[in-house]
Amino acid sequence: MDIHLLLSNLTNPTLLFFLLGVTASLLKSDLEIPASTSKFISLYLLFSIGFKGGQELAHSPFTWEILFSLLFGLLIASFIPFYTFFILKRRLGIHNAGAIAAAYGSVSAVTFVAAASFLEAEQLHFGGHMVAVMALMEAPAIIIGVVLLRRYDNGSDAQKTSLGSLVRHSLTNSSVLMILGSLIIGLIADSKQAEGIKPFTTDIFKGFLAIFLLEMGMVTASRFRAFRQYGWFVSLFAVLIPALNGSIVALCSIWITTDPGNRFIFAILAASASYIAVPAAMRLAAPEADPGLYVPMALGVTFPFNITLGMPLYMFLITLQ
């Protein structure tokens, strides 16, 4: 792995603010980001990414690569929960296995935002259609997780929850709705009028990301302690499975696109895990699953791994080809 790339990522100001948040939580500091402020910043980040993606998409013709990218994203989001479910169900039970599989098959919008910042630091570009790929990858993983729950546990509440309501819930989730809606607005907005909000969508983006990751660091440290009772297996899973998924997709994505920025986004989408949309859906479909397990796995282990070691790893693999 390129040591310079690794050191550059580890000294990125946004990552350092994340580590500051972890430190503040471990020291039991009274440092706090108000919940309303955190929600506003998260919505702003999704709005900015979605709008810029829509603008880029508006200026590029629809191609076979875009179509294949959308299909590839759906394939990733369907296959990952399927195979991870069978790895997990013997050790953690049907309900936890279904919820964790859905989380790791789905995507993390915050990790996507951090990946966009990483690419900008590397002076690399990614296509606006990758925002649409991310938005479309939320629902399939949830559906696969629920289908597996229904198949292997006849007494599960997943039997009583319609797939239609789960799809609707996943697509109307605030993060998905915001980024997909912003993408559409960016796509149809007049270019000259869009220039007027460019300072808001671009210039202040990294500052808001730093503050948001500060809060994410505090949340991560507080939730990491919640699942220690489950032992080494879940910690290893939360590192090795994302690393495997991201690495394989980083290499295989060359069949879809030769653009390194797009390939990197594919890798990070495959490696990330949802800790917002999936937990909300699993409260309906699998209330027996322990959110004190699958939320800290995604947020407390996988997210920090991806933004520290994962991103340089995936970029290194891409540069080999």
Q: Are 182 and 47 in contact (CB under 8 A)?
A: yes
**What mean pLDDT is predicted for residues 43-61?**
81
CA dihedral 125, 127, 131, 137 (to 10 degrees): -110
What would the two tokens of residue 281 be? Answer: 């859906």
- CA dist 23 and 283 (Å) reads 31
pLDDT per position as a tens digit, 110-147: 899 889 888 988 889 998 888 888 888 877 888 888 88
**What mean pLDDT is predicted for residues 81-94?**
92
Give which of 266, 287, 312, 291 is closest to 72, Cα–Cα.
Answer: 266
Distances (CA, A) of 233 to 21, 78, 87, 240: 26, 23, 11, 10
What would the two tokens of residue 36 be? Answer: 């309303």
Q: Which residues lie below 8 Å from residue 178, measured CB to CB, with a gap of 6+? A: 43, 46, 47, 50
Q: Which CATH number fits domain 3-319: 1.20.1530, 1.20.120, 1.10.3470, 3.40.720?
A: 1.20.1530
pLDDT per position as a tens digit, 199-246: 888 778 888 888 888 887 887 787 666 667 777 889 899 999 999 999
Q: Answer with the residue of higher pLDDT: 120 or 160.
A: 120
pTM of the model: 0.80
Domain ranges for the chain, please list them.
3-319
